[in-house]
Structure 1
């Protein structure tokens, strides 16, 4: 797998899967523009990426629940590059709680806005830069909760709703951008535990058929898909659960 000279934008990179993808993309030679709600956090992760691999990385603030913040982030990206080769829509607010009354109105609205609306708006604002790429990919970290009749997660119903909306957007976007040669790749993993590529345990975590899905395998799927020749269009990844 190689991403040399490709420009990758990843949201929600302050921790977890987004941070792991930023670090791993840097190791593969990508230029990384990453976001987190906190500018300090975004800058800190970008510094980690550069220190780890020497990659060109920059962290910028973006609150996906705030349309103005999304516009500002997209404008900042456009000021730094004339194209985006890979957009990873990873950012989303996770909301726990099996009962609809487990979260207040503000938490529900923020979850749906950051996950569904934020994904739509950022993709919209970065679409001209994606179209400027000779080989653009849009990757959506959706969730198994967006699969029909998947009720195994303890996520709040609003999180289910947000991820279902994100999945619907990804599906129609894939069909409509395919004639332009832009691949839209979506992943539907079950709940999994975050892991740190900078920790020695990253390379030693058990990954047998008896083990639950790992962050290592989720990020492997993303990097594999965007590294394929253009005749290979992997539209989605679905995972069996233990």
Structure 2
């Protein structure tokens, strides 16, 4: 796989899957732009990308629940590059507790705003940069919680609602952007473990069918999809679950 010369934007990249994807993109030669609600966390990942692979990496603060913050993030990236080749919508608030009454109104609103409205506005404001690319991909990290009648997660109903909204948005977006050659790729992973690609003890070969899904495996799916020939539109990845 080779991402040399490509620009990759990852939201929610301060830790976990977003961080792992940023690191792998840097190793494959991409210029990386990362955002997180906490600017310090985003800067830490950008520094790790550069230290790991010498790839250029820029960090930004972006609160996906705040429309102004999303717009300013896109404007800041546009000031540094003339295009976005890969936009990864990874950022979204997770809200625990299964009972509807277990979370306050503000937390519920923030969860839906970051996952649903935040994803939509991120795509809207990055669309000019995506259209400037000769081969643009939009990747949405959704969740198995958005699959019909999937009740495995103990997440709050607000998280289910946010992910269902993301799925509906991705579906119509794929249909409407395909004539422009922009691919929309959605992943529906169950709960997974993070792992750390910088940990020297991390061993991909040690994964077995009895192990939980890892962030690295999800990253592998993303990289597989965005490196396919342009006539290959991998629309979604769905995963078998252990339980």
TM-score bucket of the superposed structures, by smaller chain: over 0.9
Question: Partner residue of 1:141?
Answer: 141
Question: Partner residue of 1:126?
Answer: 126
Question: Partner residue of 1:188?
Answer: 188
Contact between 1:202 and 1:216, CA under 8 Å: does it hold in 2? Answer: no
Question: Partner residue of 2:219?
Answer: 219
| C-alpha separation in 2, matches of 1:97 and 1:150 | 16
Question: Partner residue of 1:24?
Answer: 24
Other structure's SS at 1:201 match: coil
Contact between 1:34 and 1:60, CA under 8 Å: does it hold in 2? Answer: yes
Question: Partner residue of 1:103?
Answer: 103
The TM-score with structure 2 as length reference comes to: 0.98
| C-alpha separation in 1, matches of 2:10 and 2:39 | 14
Other structure's SS at 1:52 match: helix
- Deviation of residue 204 (structure 1)? 4.7
The TM-score with structure 1 as length reference comes to: 0.98
Question: Partner residue of 2:66?
Answer: 66
> Over aligned residues, Cα RMSD in angstroms?
0.9
| C-alpha separation in 2, matches of 1:212 and 1:179 | 37
Task: Provide closer, same or farther for how the CA distance between residues 87 and 204 of structure 1 changes in structure 2, counting only shifts above 3 A.
Answer: closer
| C-alpha separation in 2, matches of 1:231 and 1:92 | 30
| 1:149-187 Cα deviation digits (max 9, x unpaired) | 000111110000000000000000000000110000000
Question: Partner residue of 1:87?
Answer: 87
Runs (4+) off by over 4 Å: none
Question: Aligned residue pairs: how many?
Answer: 242
Contiguous gaps of at least 5 residues in structure 2: none
Contiguous gaps of at least 5 residues in structure 1: none
| C-alpha separation in 2, matches of 1:12 and 1:23 | 13
Question: Partner residue of 1:153?
Answer: 153
38-47 or 84-93, larger mean C-alpha shift: 38-47
Contact between 2:12 and 2:18, CA under 8 Å: does it hold in 1? Answer: yes
| C-alpha separation in 2, matches of 1:122 and 1:67 | 9
Question: Partner residue of 1:178?
Answer: 178
| 1:50-101 Cα deviation digits (max 9, x unpaired) | 0000000011110000000001101001101110000000000001111111
